[in-house]
């Protein structure tokens, strides 16, 4: 809170300086501080809202969802953030409009101006903005994110390829696997000093499990799709481009990765995922379907197959009581078939900032009920502990390994002031298995180590997955990502390597449209609108879905680019989606939607 007040106080001083320079300037140069002030206030607003959601300003998760859009998100949960951002946008527009009006009046007046009343005030205003920008936390956030987009040299690439383990696995366990991800439920909530009697049932169940402490949150983790990629593939989530993108709008999601469900599938396990939210959000459905899941059931499943009306959903989708009932039914069905299976599920009611209360929990409150996120957790305590009990009391308990874990640490919610009092924040990981003794295991690990730990539980012949290493391995001498994180806090080269696993296409042959918004480039398909940067070999090296003009302006002279968007936006009379191919500083070609459907030669484009 102190940091936030300091940032806003400093921002207000910068804004006062900008406004003052505009008011005293008598030249048309007054447009410069107005334009820079517009950008400054806009980024101030972006950072403010990002900090309201993450607690750490602009990070990987903010960029991912900013560039991805937020299809099927529950916007009602973020009304405060929307209002705050709208206020900053209004303020930014007022600064720009004020400078335009002042410039027009100065021009109309047409009076001779001195250096001190003309150019100098505008120069001072620009200097105030520049200094303010360089000191600002959003500038520091962006610099830190930029460092994660460094190119790997040959030695780094060889090192990381040697550490990145995707070799075939032989799994010998005769047990089935059930994995339940709990949205934003971290170990901190079990701290009785901070949250007395918040999770009494789950605390009791945790004491009956093998549970881990010391699983940290690191770069490339920290939001739901990242948590799935971390634990399923042993990778930090990083995407191509100068920011994280909507990779759900790309046909192939991390096509060069090899993930946990694929190894299970290769060993004869039927793999099923169930979640109450839409699978389209952040490209989750494509990730799951392309990485080893035979069946993916999401909000659409509960709406269509379960016959649930829209009024029976929360803003995100099916409530957790309905989800967990469906997961248990699926567990029974799969168990009765007496064939190997792995069942994964993800809850949603505890999503920040306020959570949701399942219908069966109406009236459940934590203490005075003022903190809505803790009311949602009190409900989760009831629902999740009941699910654990049902699985463990079932006829198939001895044949089942049940794992309950976080997808990531809690983002900013109404209980954040309490969470921040914790000496350390860890992700949750509990294992229930009749052949494994309960107790606490203290480790130095990350979410990337969860997948290989599950492989160890399933008696795989190799306790590694991607850059992750099993938390059950004695000594953990062969650590990769986690070792470097705890040794130096620097894992940027791992993010850069992860980015290469998207296998962006080389633009050769024909570029075609599917007649709608799909554009086929090489062996991949992107959904328009998109903007891509190509290297000398016509390989896509960066990909964006917003802010085209900014990305184009940032390119160096002579760099190739290719983008697709509505024809009217590129001043083409053709309806539909047009293609633009260009060489920065040289020129560009526009291809109509008709030409794009028929096919545009890559040679013709460049």
Tell me: the pLDDT tens digits for 536-552? 889 998 888 878 888 89
| Residue 473 within any structural domain of the chain | yes
Per residue in 312-351, pLDDT tens? Answer: 888 889 999 999 999 999 999 999 999 999 999 999 999 9
Domain boundary among 501, 518, 537: 501
Domain boundary among 473, 501, 529: 501
Do 292 and 165 reside in the same domain of the chain?
yes
Do 247 and 376 reside in the same domain of the chain?
yes
Do 371 and 515 reside in the same domain of the chain?
no
| Residue 250 within any structural domain of the chain | yes
From the CB of residue 395, how many other CB atoms can be counted at a distance below 10 Å? 9
Q: What is the DSSP letter of 317?
A: B
Q: What is the layout of strands, in order, in the sheet containing 439-446?
A: 295-297, 270-275, 341-346, 176-182, 400-406, 429-432, 210-216, 439-446
**Higher confidence at residue 140 or residue 503?**
503
Q: Which residue has the tokens 């009306």?
A: 309
> Assign residue 208 a region: left if phi > 0, alpha if psi is -120 to 50, beta otherwise?
alpha
| Residue 606 within any structural domain of the chain | no
Do 300 and 228 reside in the same domain of the chain?
yes
Do 322 and 191 reside in the same domain of the chain?
yes
Do 130 and 248 reside in the same domain of the chain?
no
Q: Is the pLDDT of residue 188 over 90?
A: yes
| Residue 403 within any structural domain of the chain | yes
* Spatial separation of the C-alpha atoms in residues 110 and 108, rounded to whole Å: 5
**Higher confidence at residue 161 or residue 128?**
161
| Residue 218 within any structural domain of the chain | yes
Angle at 491 (CA atoms; ends 486, 494), nearest 5 degrees = 135
% of the chain at pLDDT higher than 90: 57
Q: 216 forms bridges with which residues in the sheet? A: 446
| Residue 297 within any structural domain of the chain | yes
Kindly report the CATH number assigned to the domain that includes residue 226: 3.40.720.10
Per residue in 443-472, pLDDT tens? Answer: 999 999 999 999 999 999 998 999 999 999
Per residue in 244-265, pLDDT tens? Answer: 435 667 889 999 999 999 999 9
| Residue 153 within any structural domain of the chain | no
Per residue in 341-387, pLDDT tens? Answer: 999 999 999 998 999 999 999 999 999 999 999 999 999 999 999 99
* Spatial separation of the C-alpha atoms in residues 361 and 324, rounded to whole Å: 13
Do 179 and 249 reside in the same domain of the chain?
yes
What are residue 102's phi and psi, to 5 degrees? -65, -40
CA atoms within 13 A on the CB side of 156: 13
Q: Would you give the distance in Å from CA 349 to the centre of its chain?
A: 18
Q: Model's pTM, two decimal places?
A: 0.80
Per residue in 45-90, pLDDT tens? Answer: 887 877 776 666 776 656 555 544 455 555 566 677 778 888 889 9
Domain boundary among 148, 170, 205: 148
Structural domain of 561: 510-601
Q: Residues 6-20: what's their mean pLDDT? A: 82
| Residue 324 within any structural domain of the chain | yes
Do 120 and 138 reside in the same domain of the chain?
yes
Where b means 16+ CB within 10 Å and e means fewer, 481-512 reads bbbbbeeeeebbbbbbbbbbbbebbbbeeebb
Do 173 and 113 reside in the same domain of the chain?
no
Do 167 and 77 reside in the same domain of the chain?
no
Torsion of CA 522, 523, 524, 530, to 10 degrees: 0
Tally the domains of the chain.
Answer: 3
**Higher confidence at residue 40 or residue 51?**
40
Do 276 and 376 reside in the same domain of the chain?
yes
Do 465 and 373 reside in the same domain of the chain?
yes
Q: 403 forms bridges with which residues in the sheet? A: 179, 431
What are residue 434's phi and psi, to 5 degrees? -65, -20
């Amino acid at each position: 809170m102190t940091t936030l007040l300091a940032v806003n106080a400093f921002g207000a001083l910068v804004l006062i300086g900008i406004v003052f320079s505009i008011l005293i300037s008598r030249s048309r140069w007054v447009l410069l501080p107005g334009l820079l002030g517009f950008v400054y206030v806009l980024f101030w607003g972006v950072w403010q809202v990002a900090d309201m959601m993450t607690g750490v300003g602009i990070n990987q998760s903010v960029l991912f969802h900013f560039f991805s859009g937020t299809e099927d998100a529950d916007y009602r949960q973020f009304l405060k953030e929307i209002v705050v951002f709208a206020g900053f946008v209004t303020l930014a527009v007022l600064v720009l409009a004020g400078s335009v009006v002042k410039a027009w009046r100065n021009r109309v007046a047409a009076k001779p101006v001195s250096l001190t009343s003309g150019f100098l005030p505008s120069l001072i205003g620009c200097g105030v903005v520049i200094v303010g920008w360089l000191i600002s936390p959003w500038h520091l956030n962006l610099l830190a994110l930029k460092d994660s987009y460094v190119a790997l040299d040959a030695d780094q690439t060889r090192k990381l390829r040697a550490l990145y383990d995707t070799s075939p696995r032989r799994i010998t366990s005769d047990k089935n696997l059930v994995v339940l991800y709990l949205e934003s439920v971290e170990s901190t909530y079990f701290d009785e000093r901070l949250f007395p009697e918040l999770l009494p049932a789950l605390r009791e169940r945790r004491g009956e499990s093998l549970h881990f402490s010391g699983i940290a949150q690191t770069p490339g983790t920290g939001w739901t799709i990242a948590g799935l990629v971390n634990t399923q593939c042993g990778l930090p989530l990083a995407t191509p481009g100068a920011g994280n993108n909507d990779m759900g709008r790309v046909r192939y999601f991390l096509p060069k990765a090899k993930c946990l469900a694929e190894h299970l599938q290769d060993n004869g396990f039927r793999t099923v995922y169930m979640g109450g939210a839409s699978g389209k959000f952040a490209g989750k459905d494509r990730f799951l379907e392309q990485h080893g899941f035979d069946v993916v059931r999401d909000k659409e499943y509960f709406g269509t197959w379960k016959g649930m009306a829209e009024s029976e959903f929360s803003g995100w989708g099916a409530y957790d009581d309905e989800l967990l009932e469906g997961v248990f039914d699926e567990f029974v069905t799969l168990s009765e078939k007496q064939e190997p299976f792995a069942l994964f599920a993800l809850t949603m009611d505890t999503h920040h900032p306020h959570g949701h209360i399942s219908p069966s929990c109406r009236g459940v409150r934590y203490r005075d009920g003022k903190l809505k996120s803790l009311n949602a957790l009190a409900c989760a305590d009831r629902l999740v502990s009941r699910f654990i009990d049902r699985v463990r009391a079932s006829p198939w308990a001895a044949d089942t390994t049940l794992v309950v874990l976080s997808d990531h640490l809690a983002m900013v919610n109404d209980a954040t002031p309490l969470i921040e009092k914790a000496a350390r924040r860890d992700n949750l990981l509990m294992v229930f298995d009749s052949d494994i003794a309960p107790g606490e295991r203290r480790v130095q690990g990350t979410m990337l180590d969860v997948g290989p730990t599950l492989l160890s539980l399933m008696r795989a012949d190799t306790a590694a997955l991607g850059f992750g290493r099993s938390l059950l391995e004695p000594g953990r001498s062969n650590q990769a990502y986690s070792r470097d994180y705890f040794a130096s806090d620097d894992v940027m080269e791992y993010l850069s390597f992860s980015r290469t696993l998207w296998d962006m296409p080389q633009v050769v042959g024909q570029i075609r449209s599917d007649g709608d918004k799909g554009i086929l480039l090489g062996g991949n398909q992107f959904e328009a609108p998109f903007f891509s940067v190509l290297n000398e070999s016509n390989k896509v090296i960066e990909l964006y879905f917003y802010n085209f003009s900014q990305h184009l302006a940032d390119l160096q002279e002579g760099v190739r680019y290719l983008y697709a968007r509505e024809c009217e936006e590129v001043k083409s009379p053709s309806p539909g989606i047009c293609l633009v191919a260009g060489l920065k500083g040289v020129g560009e070609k526009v291809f109509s939607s008709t030409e794009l459907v028929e096919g545009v030669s890559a040679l013709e484009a460049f």
